Amino acid sequence: MDNRNTKPASAVTETRGRKPSATADKAILDAARAVLQETGYPGFTMSAVVKRSGVSSATIYRRWRSSQELILDAFRSMTPILETPDSGCFDNDLSTFLDDFAAALSGVGSFVALDKMDSRIEPQLRREIAEIFTEPRKKILAAIFDRAVLSGALKKRPDIDDCWNFIAGPLHHRISIQQKKYTTTFAKQTKAFITAGLFALAKQ
């Protein structure tokens, strides 16, 4: 009897039990996010993702060569497509930007909280996370400022890195460090504080 075209029983079982590519990817990313939210970066392991996702380690490593690659893709999957607000009013655009930023932090706050990731996170991974989350938002902020200068709402564009620190600081502290909600009252107070500070910087 010719068995050349007959798969071993183990191979047949593996093929039947294998999740479709898109389904496997979703299961892996969902599991990676859950593990990160529970343990933070220091406690993240590929074995924990395997256990939670139900996907084999071989399948995971075919898609992601390292835990850092998987962490970055999990983070990307939590980051929404960004749009630059353009209402024609600097105050309104800045307000929308702050609300969007707060919403994003609320979604990933526990995921990137410094008390979980702490100093053990590799510098390269920290830089790549900043590239995913921070740099696109800095570009949006710069665009808002540039339009404000053109319209005369601001005399000049303040330094973006300085502005980012002033804007990100209070939001990050409340949402990621204190683990408190971005309430309407806090939003109103923070917007007034930040707007006044930005106008003061633009006059220097």
For residue 55, the enclosing domain spans 9-76
Q: 192 and 177: one domain?
A: yes
Q: 35 and 131: one domain?
A: no
The mean pLDDT value of the chain amounts to: 81
Packing angle, helices 21-39 and 67-77, rounded to 10: 90
Distance separating the N- and C-terminal Cα atoms of the chain: 89
Q: 68 and 86: one domain?
A: no
pLDDT tens readout for residues 85-106: 999 999 999 999 999 988 888 8
- For residue 2, being part of any structural domain is answered with no
- For residue 72, being part of any structural domain is answered with yes
Count of domains observed in the chain:
2
Using DSSP's 3-state secondary structure scheme, residue 43 falls into coil
Which backbone phi and psi does 153 adopt, to 5 degrees?
A: -70, -30
Q: 116 and 181: one domain?
A: yes
Distance CA 105, CA 194 (A): 17
Task: Specify the residue for token string 């183990």.
Answer: 10
Q: 65 and 109: one domain?
A: no
Q: 169 and 84: one domain?
A: yes
Contact call for residues 46 and 60 (beta carbons, < 8 A): yes
Contact call for residues 94 and 194 (beta carbons, < 8 A): yes
pLDDT of the chain, 204 residues: tens digit per residue: 444 444 333 333 333 345 558 889 999 999 998 888 888 777 889 999 999 999 999 999 999 999 989 988 988 887 777 889 999 999 999 999 999 988 888 876 555 544 444 555 677 777 888 888 888 999 999 999 999 999 988 888 888 998 898 888 899 888 877 888 999 999 999 999 988 888 787 766
